[in-house]
Amino acid sequence: MSAVVHAHPQSGPVLGVTGKPNRALSDAGLRGRWWRFALILAITAVVLVPIMVTVVLAVTPGPTSTATGFTLENFGSVFSETLASTWLQNSLITTLSTVTVAVAVAAPAGYVLSRGRSKAVSGYSLLLFVMQSLPIITSVVPLFILFAGMGLVDNLMGLTIIYVGSTMTVATWMMAAYFDSIPISLEEASWIDGCSVFGSFTKVVLRNSLPGVLSTAIFAFLLAWNDYLVAIVFLRSTEIFTLPMGVQSFFQQNQTDWTSVMALAVVMMLPPIIVFAALNKYFSVGGIGGSLAGR
């Protein structure tokens, strides 16, 4: 049989709660729907309390402000008094480069892991996991010394290389898992048509792997976007800080000005939220887990 099922998942009830999918909703079904709505609304409300705190403080007038109630002036002051826009730009550059390079490295490696089912290859697959288990806090100093020798410290490129390296292991696994769900018969057909292994990888396999690529990209995005443990050792100049570094330094020096601190925090939350909202529909069609599940 084939595994096409996994590449093209269908939707439907899981617990069988709505009975047969195509049947019109009964009264009970409708009531169940609103019950579930209420339940999830309650859970979401509770879960989001810490985030609401952040947002509320961000729109509260600051200690020196004359405004009352709701205000956006904290955002204005954060952008005018700090390098927030530069930090935002740096973070975007670093994160997007990380995502691009991580996928470019992980996809081919994942393909080999998926198709080359030998001892050496599965050994390498395990090695990926073993090697990344060392906590980053013990790696930062040796990496800094190594990178300093290459002139890659206080430099966004050096940071990007480390992010690529640290996302690459899990990313490779994720890509391999996704490729597993793509039937090899597709490649075989292309080989017969005269395609090389590389050609069929790029033209046939990769082209059919958008969900896998996207979930890998998201993973890399979040790691690079949120890191500050590496950044704090590798970056020195305020004008090349990434946002977490900026937020961190701003936190330390403006302890009484919570409203500005939180405004900067909200700025930092926005890009990932936008990314998630935009890509939401791909997750429902087999995001990270879907690709892994197909393995």
Pick out residues in 38-67 that bind another protein (CB under 8 A): 39-41, 43-44, 47-51, 53-54, 63
Other beta carbons within 10 angstroms of residue 38's beta carbon come to 10
> 3: closest CA among 179, 166, 264?
179
By CB under 8 A, is residue 197 in contact with another protein?
A: yes
Give the separation between CA 254 and CA 237, rounded to whole angstroms. 19
DSSP state of 147: H
Complex with another protein: residue 89 or 196, whichever CB lies closer = 196
DSSP state of 295: -
By CB under 8 A, is residue 6 in contact with another protein?
A: yes
Tell me how long the chain is.
Answer: 295
Give the shortest CB-76-to-another protein separation in angstroms: 17
- 134-153 residues in contact with another protein (CB under 8 A) are 134-146, 148-149, 153
Complex with another protein: residue 69 or 135, whichever CB lies closer = 135
Look at residue 260 and give its three-state secondary structure.
helix
By CB under 8 A, is residue 198 in contact with another protein?
A: yes
By CB under 8 A, is residue 157 in contact with another protein?
A: no
Q: Name the token pair of 65.
A: 């402000």
Complex with another protein: residue 93 or 233, whichever CB lies closer = 233
- 223-262 residues in contact with another protein (CB under 8 A) are 225-226, 228-229, 232-233, 236-238, 244-245, 247-249, 251-256, 261-262
DSSP state of 93: H
Q: Which amino acid is at 143?
A: L
Give the shortest CB-69-to-another protein separation in angstroms: 20
Residues 6+ positions from 25 with CB-CB distance below 8 Å: 18, 33
> 213: closest CA among 121, 137, 279?
279
> Tokens 């998942």 label which residue?
9
Cα–Cα separations (whole angstroms), residue 190 to 2, 35, 180 = 17, 51, 17
Q: Which of 59, 157, 186, 285 binds another protein (CB under 8 A)?
A: 285
- 262-281 residues in contact with another protein (CB under 8 A) are 262, 265, 268-269, 272-273, 276-277, 280-281
**What would the x/- binding string for another protein be over residues 161 to 190, using CB under 8 A?**
xx-xxx-xxx-xx---x--xxxxxx-----
Give the shortest CB-88-to-another protein separation in angstroms: 13
